[in-house]
C-alpha cells in the first residue's frame, strides 16, 4: 500500500508579531521541509569499528506554490517583505 502525506487543508501563515499571524491564501501545493543532520565521527583508538554521533539538525526548506493575486492585500504584503529583504518566521498548519 502506498503511503503519503495528506495535504488538503494544510495552511501557511506568516508570523506578523509575537501574538499575530496572517494566513497566506491561494496556496495550491507544496513540499514540507526534510530535516537532516550530519554524522560526527567519534572513533578513538579503543574503538573496534567507526563510531558516530548525530550532529546539529538542519531543518531544511519548505516550498509552496500559489496563485498570485496582485490585488490581494496579503500577497502585496509578501511582495513588500520580499522587496525589503525582510526575514519572517512561518507556521505550517498540517491537516
pLDDT tens column, 37-75: 999 999 999 999 999 999 999 988 888 898 999 999 999
User: What pLDDT was estimated at residue 1?
Assistant: 53
pLDDT at 32 > cutoff 60: yes
Please say whether the beta carbons of 33 and 43 come within 8 A. Answer: no
pLDDT grade for 6, boundaries at 50, 70 and 90: low
Please say whether the beta carbons of 13 and 21 come within 8 A. Answer: yes
pLDDT at 2 > cutoff 60: no
Stated length of the chain: 95
Amino acid at each position: 500500500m502506498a503511503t503519503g502525506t495528506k495535504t488538503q487543508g494544510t495552511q501557511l501563515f506568516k508570523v506578523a508579531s509575537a501574538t499575530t499571524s496572517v494566513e497566506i491564501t491561494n496556496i495550491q501545493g507544496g513540499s514540507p521541509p526534510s530535516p537532516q543532520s550530519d554524522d560526527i565521527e567519534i572513533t578513538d583508538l579503543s574503538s573496534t569499528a567507526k563510531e558516530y554521533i548525530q550532529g546539529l539538525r538542519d531543518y531544511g526548506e519548505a516550498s509552496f506554490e500559489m496563485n498570485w493575486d496582485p490585488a490581494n492585500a496579503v500577497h502585496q504584503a509578501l511582495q513588500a517583505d520580499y522587496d525589503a529583504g525582510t526575514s519572517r518566521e512561518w507556521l505550517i498548519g498540517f491537516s
